[in-house]
Structure formats: structure tokens, C-alpha cells
Chains A and B, each alone.
Chain A
Amino acid sequence: MLSYAIRRAGGAAVVLLLVLTMVFLMLHAAPGGPETAYLGNNPTPEKRAAVLAQLGLDRPLWAQYLTFVGSILTLDLGSSLTTGTPVSELLADRMLVTLELGLVAFVVWTAIGMLAGALAAARRGRALDAVVRVGSVVALSVPSFWLGLILVLVFGLYVPGVLPSSGWATWDEGVGEHLRSIVLPAFTLGISAAGVIARTLRTSMIEALDADHVTFGRSLGLNERTILSRIALRNAVIPTVTVIGMMLGTFIGGAVLIENVFNVPGVGQLVVSSFLAHDYPVAIAATVWTAGTFLVATLVVDLLYFAIDPRIRAQFLERSTR
């Protein structure tokens, strides 16, 4: 298990470096640069050159890239080119907000999605199944930014005062206020994922219920409850774990649209502002977070597979002893 984890982590590190290199190149290929923030309108070429030299942006691209890789390896993220605040400080606050929002949405919606999917499969062809099937399609096909805007409109204008439609209350502002401010962004963030999870689990549950071993269990008089919860679900959850892992990555990576619609001060909002300002260090750091969370989520899924699917475990052991 440990060597499996180390091997997977090594692979993840390589992917992360590739992602960072691409972000670096794309930022530099984009027109404009961070110097515009320092220079007013109509700057003289001399002034521009001075600022570029000060920021280290006049050096050849490969030299900048080496510095960049070096700073990543030493975990020195530098400071914001626009405000001068250390990037680590800037990111830390926003990470916490994004993490909390993402985890709340993830836990609640995954639970709802799995429950809906499992119940639909158990009641296949009946009313509840139809409700879940229609409901999940609606949930996954409604664009989140549109839903977000509608919710802002409803709770901001038509029924004001029920739930805050914008902004993020910290814990210091009161637990109740804080939790109330999470409701709408978390609802909007997770609803489509719940639809996907419900559908995936329903399909694999139905497949699992058709398996030979389920028929054999029934032939020995096992009750439907045991069949569903102990046998079919245990088998059906394996393909669903992949989907859930991907969701986890997108949830805690920073939801760009949701955070901007609801004005949540998370990483997603930081990504937008830093890219618009060509604030290279901040943009890079935010990207590291987003890509990193995705890789960690994938890694967690692989390790989970290892834990729940004995066939994968056996395959790995077989390969490593050869």
C-alpha cells in the first residue's frame, strides 16, 4: 500500500510540474503584462524598461522559467506583483474559504446523490425512480452560473432577509451568520454533481443487481435489504468512486463562477483577479492549488480503489513481486 502510494504521488508531482510549465508559458504568451499596473496612461519606454527590470521581467524567458521552477521547488511563492503581499499569506485565507465551501457542498451533495441513486435502483421503474431520473437530469443540466444568478435575484430582491445572497460571513461574525452565508453557494456548487452521482450509482446498482452473485444470494433466501445495502451497493460504489473523486477535485479546487457570482473570497475569485492583473506569482500559486487539489483527489480515489477493490490490490501485488 505504501509503495503504491509513493508511486502514485511521484506521478502526480510530474503532472503538477507540467501544468505549472503550461501556465507559465500561457501567462507570458498573453498580451499585456503586470507592469501596466505600475505605469499610468502613456508610459515612456524608459519608465517601462525600468519597471520590467525591477520585476525581473526583462530577462530571457528560460532564465525566468528557471527562477520560477526554483521558487516552486523551494516552496517560496514570492509576493504579489500588484500589492506586494506575500503570496502564501494571500492564498492561506482564501484556501480556507474555498476548502470549507467545497467540503460542505461535497459532503452534503454526495450523500444526497448516493441516497437518491441507490433508492432509485432499489425502486426501479416505480414513481421514486422516475422522480430521481428526471430530478437528476434537471440538476446536472442547469448551468450553475445561471442558477446562481437566479438565486441571487430571488434571495436578494424577491424574498430578502431569508438567506444572504452575496458575500461571506466569517466565523467571527457569528456561527449562524456564517452557516447562512454558505447555504446558497454550496447549494449551487454541488447540485449538478449530485445529479451525476445519482445517475452513476443508479446505473451501476442496477447492473450489480443483475449479477450472478445477487441471484445466487436470492436463491438462498437473503432479504432484499441485505442484497441492496451489503452486496449490490458494495459492488456498485466502485465505479461511482471515480466520479465522486473528480467532483471532490473540482469542489475544493476553487469554483471560479460560483465564487464570483456570490462574491465569496475564495481561490476561484483570486484566480480571476490575478489573471486579469497579470499578477504572475499569485496566478501561479492559485493554479498550483487548483491543479494540486485535483491531483490529490485523484490520488485519494486510487488509494480508495486499493482499499475497496481486492482485485486491484491483487493485481498490484502480483506486478510488484514479479
Chain B
Amino acid sequence: MRTVVELPAGQAGDTGAGPLLEVSGLDVTYRTARGLLPAVRDVSFRVERGEVFGLVGESGSGKSSLVTALMRLLPRGSEITADRLEFDGTDLLTMPESRMRRLRGREIGLVPQRPMTSLSPVTPVAAQLRRLTGGEVDDARLHELLTDVGLGGLKARLGDYPFQFSGGQLQRMLIAVAVLAREPSLVLADEPTTTLDATVQAQVLRLLLDLRERLGNTVLLVTHDLGVVAQVCDRVGVMYGGRLVEVAPTRQLFEDPQHPYTRALLAAMPSNQARGERLRPIPGTVSGAQLLPGCPFAPRCDRATALCWEVDPEPTEHAGRTVRCHHPGSPA
């Protein structure tokens, strides 16, 4: 299961100059019945061409909101603001919706979190897959696409409905239309294996990586599974309470975490502890963290001082990565 994929970052698909995705000062706010709810606060990062960028964090930390915002597919009543939101050098924020729509699926592909509900339940899959690829795909090409994602045996069943397939089969179909059919240069994978069986998770992840190797695309992988991050990501961003608290190359992050939350997260991983030793959960909960005026992690942090409660730390360069902490550093 522990198959480490070594891919040279910034090599495959390296056509243009500069990063493929550049985000700076991104805020996502939901308007709810009880007032404004900030989901993503002042997030800045870059995704270089050809790399696999991991985004980790607990549920509710803002990962999915961030990904949905990149596609400009947030529900009504939500607001995106940013100093900079550029894909391949083009500003996504001011882009007219009609152009944004042409970009979706062609330039940026999304692999969704819940494959079981990501196809309409009342239409046969073949018709849907054709529709989802812009109707330009004939039966032969569709079969070719499905064979490429390991579903060659399903040719006779394409008139069936989504509920007649397994989650793994559906996720492969979705990958076929979102990643393979039109080869977008950026693939946003929003916890693509969370709802799948453990044995199928590895296969689906393997498929995404194989396709990436073949097509040379860039992947933004959202996950809460640090094991997956360690295996496949070139760089990682850690989210907490709507903030990106630490961004670092994977190896550095795992070997020498600088933000107290990253350290706590790694300490809570079963594989990082001696057999028989108790797991170390992080005390407290993430709930409400994005509403705090100071550092979102202050209530659960063992290094927190009065300053942390009052002032939200700015991102700073520290030990070769970006950290958002008043007291960063290696464990004492």
C-alpha cells in the first residue's frame, strides 16, 4: 500500500511561465440566517505547473469551500473576494461567466467527493457521460475512455443507471469525463476517495496518479488523509479555521513541522507513534475557529499567549516555508 510515487515537479506540462494557479488574499463568505460566516480567510498559495499540491485539514476547515471557489461554483448567497485569483495568468474573478463556463471541464476539471450522487439518478450512464463531455463523444470514444480508466468490461452495461454501479466504478467514470476526456491542465480532486471502501481508495488514487503521469496535468488534491499526502504530494498546505496555516514541501512538513497545528496533526497519526502507545488527539474542537479575531488555533494550542488570542498572525517565511504563527518552530 505504501507505494511512493516520485515525480519530478514542474517538469510535465510545463508550457507557460509562472505558476498555473496563483491565489492571494482569498476570502469566501457565506451569508446565513445568523449572519455572515467566513469559510476561507485570507488564503494565499501557488500551485506550480505539473506538481501535486495537497490541501489537508479537518472537516469544516474550509478546504472544500476553497476548491469550489476556484471553480466559481459556490452556492447562491456566498461571496468571493481576493487580491489575486489567477489561473494560467488569467484573472478568474473578473472573468465573465460565459468564459468561466468554457474554462470549466476544459481547463479545470473537478473530481467530486461523492461519486454515488454525482450522476443524475434517472438517466442511463452512457447518455450522461456523453452529455458531460459536451456531447462530442461517440460510443466508440466513450468505450475507449472507460477502458482507459479500467472499466472496459462495462461496455454492455452502459444503458444501466448510476445506482446499479459501485462507488469505485462511478468514481472511475467521473474521472474518465473530468480528467481524461478533455485533458484539463488543472485537476481539482476534492477528497476523491473519502466515500469509497478502503481497498478501492488506493486503486482510485493510483488511477489519478497514472493519468497525471500520462497527461502531465497539475493536481490540487484535497484530503484529510496525511498518509495519502505523504505518498503522493509534492507540496502541502495545511488549513485550519479557514486559514492556510502552513505551506511546505511534503518532506519538510513531515520531518520538521513549524506550526503547532501541523505538529499536533502529525502527532495524532497512528503511524507516527510507537506500538502500544496511546494516540494523541488534539484537545478541543475546530468548531467556530474561523470566527475568532486572533489565531484560529489559539484555543487548542499549547504555545498560545495573549498575543495569539488578539492578533491574527500574518503569513511569514520561516525555515524555508510559509507559516502563520506568532511562535513557529520545531518542537522543543
Q: Which residues of A contact B (CB under 8 A)?
A: 124-125, 210-213, 215-223, 226, 230-231, 234-235, 238, 308-311, 314
Contact = CB atoms under 8 A, between A and B. Distances in A.
B122 interface: yes
A309 B75 CA distance: 27
Contacts of B164: 314
A230 B112 contact: no
B227 interface: no
Contacts of B110: 216, 219-220
Contacts of A314: 161, 163-164
Nearest to A213: B120
9 contacts: A212-B112, A216-B132, A219-B73, A219-B112, A220-B105, A220-B110, A222-B131, A308-B122, A311-B122
B104 A234 contact: no
Contacts of B194: none
Contact of A219 (B71, B121, B163): B71
B76 A216 contact: no
Q: Which of A221, A226, A231, A238 has the most CB of B within 10 A?
A: A221
B109 interface: yes
B120 A311 contact: no
B109 A226 contact: no
A311 to B, nearest CB: 6
B126 to A, nearest CB: 13
B104 A221 contact: yes
Given A221-B104, A311-B161, A231 B120 contact: yes
A213 B76 contact: no
Interface of B: 68, 71, 73, 75-76, 101-106, 109-110, 112, 114, 117-124, 131-134, 161, 163-164, 174, 177-178
A311 B106 CA distance: 32
A190 B153 CA distance: 52
Contact of A215 (B76, B103, B112, B121): B112
Nearest to A308: B122
Nearest to A216: B118
A310 B104 contact: no
A238 B122 CA distance: 10
Given A125-B76, A308-B122, 10 more contacts: A212-B112, A212-B118, A213-B121, A215-B118, A216-B112, A222-B132, A231-B120, A234-B122, A235-B122, A310-B163
A258 B131 CA distance: 47
Contacts of A215: 68, 73, 112, 118
Contacts of B134: 220-221
A223 B132 CA distance: 11
B119 A219 contact: no
Contact of A223 (B101, B123, B133): B101
Given A124-B76, A311-B161, A220 B121 contact: no
Nearest to B75: A210
B106 A221 contact: yes
Contacts of B133: 220
Contacts of B71: 218-219
Nearest to B162: A213
B118 A213 contact: yes
Nearest to A220: B105
Q: Which 7 A-B pairs have the closest CB atoms?
A: A220-B105, A219-B110, A221-B105, A221-B104, A212-B117, A216-B118, A310-B161
